[in-house]
Every structure is written in C-alpha cells, then in structure tokens.
Structure 1
C-alpha cells in the first residue's frame, strides 16, 4: 500500500486511505507551504473546511503543485452559519471560489447541531443536505458526507436524504475510538474518517505508545496512524513541519500485531475524548 491507495466509498468514488489535515493551520504561507509539502511527499487527499479560514491558501498550493486536479481528492465542509438550503448553496460556491476549483471531491456538513439552530437542527440539516444533493446532481460535488454526527443525528438525516452520506469525519484516536459511532457508520456503509488522529498532540505523552514505537523502530505518530489504518479508518494527520509530514505518510512498511492493536485499544481516555455536538456553544 501507499498514500495513493484508496478505499472505495459506497457510491463507488475512490478516496485515498490517508488524508492531509489542515485544521489549526494558519492561512497564508504556512498553510500553502504545508499543503505543497504534503503533495510533494505523495499525499493525494487534502482536507480543509470553511471555518479553518485557509481554503484560499490550500487552493494556491494545489495550483502550484503541478499535480493534476483529477489526481487530488479535495474535501471541504459547510460551517454552522449556513445550515439552510440557500445558505448551503452560497457557502458551497464561496468555498469553491476560494479553493479555485470547479468541483469538490467531498463536501461535509461540519457539525450536526449548531447552537444557532439547536431547536430545529433536524430541519436545518435536511435543508442543507438537499442543497448538497442538488450540487451532486449538477456535477459540482462527487460525494457528500457528514462530520461529528452521532447516531441520532445520522438517523434523522436519513429520514429525508435521497443520497446517503458516504463519510462521517469524527474525532477518532486510541484515546477515544467512539465504538458506538463507528459501529453505526459501518451499519450504514459509511467510512469513518479520523480527525485529530494524534489527539491534537496529546497522544505523544502516553508512555505505552513510546514503548511500542521503540519496539517497531517507528515514531509514536506512525504507530497511532497505523492503528487507525488497521481498524479500517481513514486518518487525517496534520503537521506544518515537512519532516513530520513525510514521516506521517510512511505507514506501509510495517504492521502492528493483533496483541499490540488490542493494547492500543485499551488506552481509552489517555489523551482526551470526542466533543459532544449537542452541548457545544457554537
């Protein structure tokens, strides 16, 4: 396997098995240079979002890379201020303009229950989803999905969706493997994408993982990302350091034993847990 290997989503679209994340990457030279470094290192899956504020920089990096657009899998997301039919249509166009592209490979509802629509989130998601479905039919988006959705959020969306989500991007790492959410995703043939696969850095302070890294002669990050792949997840590691960007993609020349996979599974709570979308104040 390599960074160019893919999973096949339920709609037949192929998605590279590791993505390059850009959450918390500052707009401007930092975002542009890190995405360029990722593309140069062989990544072909780039993940951003409207709320990250760096779509324009991501777009410039893609344009400068020389990698043909059709070889790059590009994801962005609908933010909480646009959970309506018209809002989603406008937000999608704005994101595509900033990215400098005429289509997206994947577009996600970023958050299932924004504070502004907490009394009517079901309807708000259904209306945004309707706009996204129309964009699929118009050829503007190849696949649509969700992010941070718990089972009850997904169940409500499926009541009205004509096109079912192909991805649920969630906080997912050994500290919080979100077993119930992952199982519900699998039930509906939805791929679990792992944002913060390194626990926003907290995972590096877990001594058991350092011991395992020494055993395999790999970094802690490589151990945890390999764990994610062996569970069938799609990790989205983020870095702005070229050497780490390269290291985070070197995951295909070793395999964790079943015993070590189980040992990592037992690290729940060691480095934080997933946010609760029903109580966050945004």
Structure 2
C-alpha cells in the first residue's frame, strides 16, 4: 500500500513561498474575493458532510486545539487570550456599525425595532426551576442560578400598609376606621405612622405648672419653630389660658372694679 504523502504547503517549500508571495501582492479587493471564495467552498464542503464525518472533524479540531494550548508557554497563552479578547470586542463593535450616526439620519419610515440587533424577542421561555419568564437568548441561570436560589413566597403586606394600598380616592386615604379625617397628617397619626404631640403636651403641662406665662410663651414659640408639632392649634387650645394668664392679671389690676375674664383679644 503506497504511503500517503503529507501536505507540504505549511513548510518552507517553493509552493509555500509562491503562495506567500502571491498573497503579499494581493490588494484588498483580491484578498476579499479570495476569502469569500474560501468561505463559500468551506461552507459547501461542510454542508455535504455526513453526521459521522462532521463529528469526526470536530473531535479532530478539539484535539488539535487542546494539544496546541497544552504546549503553550505563559507568554503565548497571554498573547492568545489578548488576541481573542480583541477579536471578540471587534466583532461586537462590528455588529452595531449599522447604527453609527443613525440618530442624525433618523427616518420614521425605517422599522428599527424589527432589526435582530434591537429586537430581542418575547419573554416566552419558562425557567424549569422557578417558572420565571425569560428571553430565548438569555444566559442560563440568571433568574435562580439553575434552582440553587430559592426565595420564599411573598406574604401579604402588614397593616396599615395593606389598608393604604387599597384606597381608590383621596377621601378613602383620609378614612380611618370609618371616620374621615380633616388632613392626611391626622390619618397618618391615627394609623400610627407619625408621632403625636404627647411629648410636647407633657412639656407644656410641666412649663405651665412651673414657669411664668412669658417664659411659657417662649417655650411654645420654640416648640413651633423647631420641633414641628403635628397639631399646633390643638396645643394652643389646650394651654392658651396659661399662656395669657399674665395679660388677664394685668388687666384686672388696671381695672379692679370690673369683673374681667379671658377674651378673644387676649388670645390674639
């Protein structure tokens, strides 16, 4: 049986040198034509392959790549990785060249959303582990890491949040236990979402018992300016007599024969 000759094009032969010289003399158009023809021949050859032949070719390719990478030194491996990253980046960038400057040439007649680079399809795929809807080309495991991540079911929101997400009108938002509040602040207080004026009421009560009315008025003004009570009017109504006690006392001292009492003028 005759010995099969090995191809010698990859070695330093006259045929290899002639091919290298021919390719070096090519212009860009000739090179493009040659590569297009080579791709067409390769595609036709692979289309005519039988399944067994295709599997054998792929296994041979994998074996050659594995042997080549195993023989690499660290510098060669780093160079190959960098070249691969550059090729991938260039390939991704080339996919979007059709959109370069398109914003300045926008044409409403163009159906941009139908382009395969822009239309990623419908969320029609269902994850077999968590039943999440996914796009067809979405990376596997993005939703639940292939069933490794399991979240508990969402529970109904607690009160009063549950009551707040149900109203359909502003009046319903101000309704608490069937009572319509005058303000949203009052409704929030009844729900326990805001602090009430209990601490300021206790402060005013202590001041009314121990301080002069003038000092009590300073305290009341400080509470209004700095502390932001939720119901200043209610706080005023509760302590207005203590706040104006010295005004009534001075009026009685100036008019001893008159039976004077608190009047709206004193409160203003």
TMscore range, shorter length:
under 0.3
The normalised TM-score by structure 2 is 0.19
Larger Rg: 2
Q: Which has the higher strand share?
A: 1
The normalised TM-score by structure 1 is 0.18
Q: Which has the higher helix share?
A: 2
Name the structure, 1 or 2, with higher relative contact order (CA <8 Å, separation 6+): 1
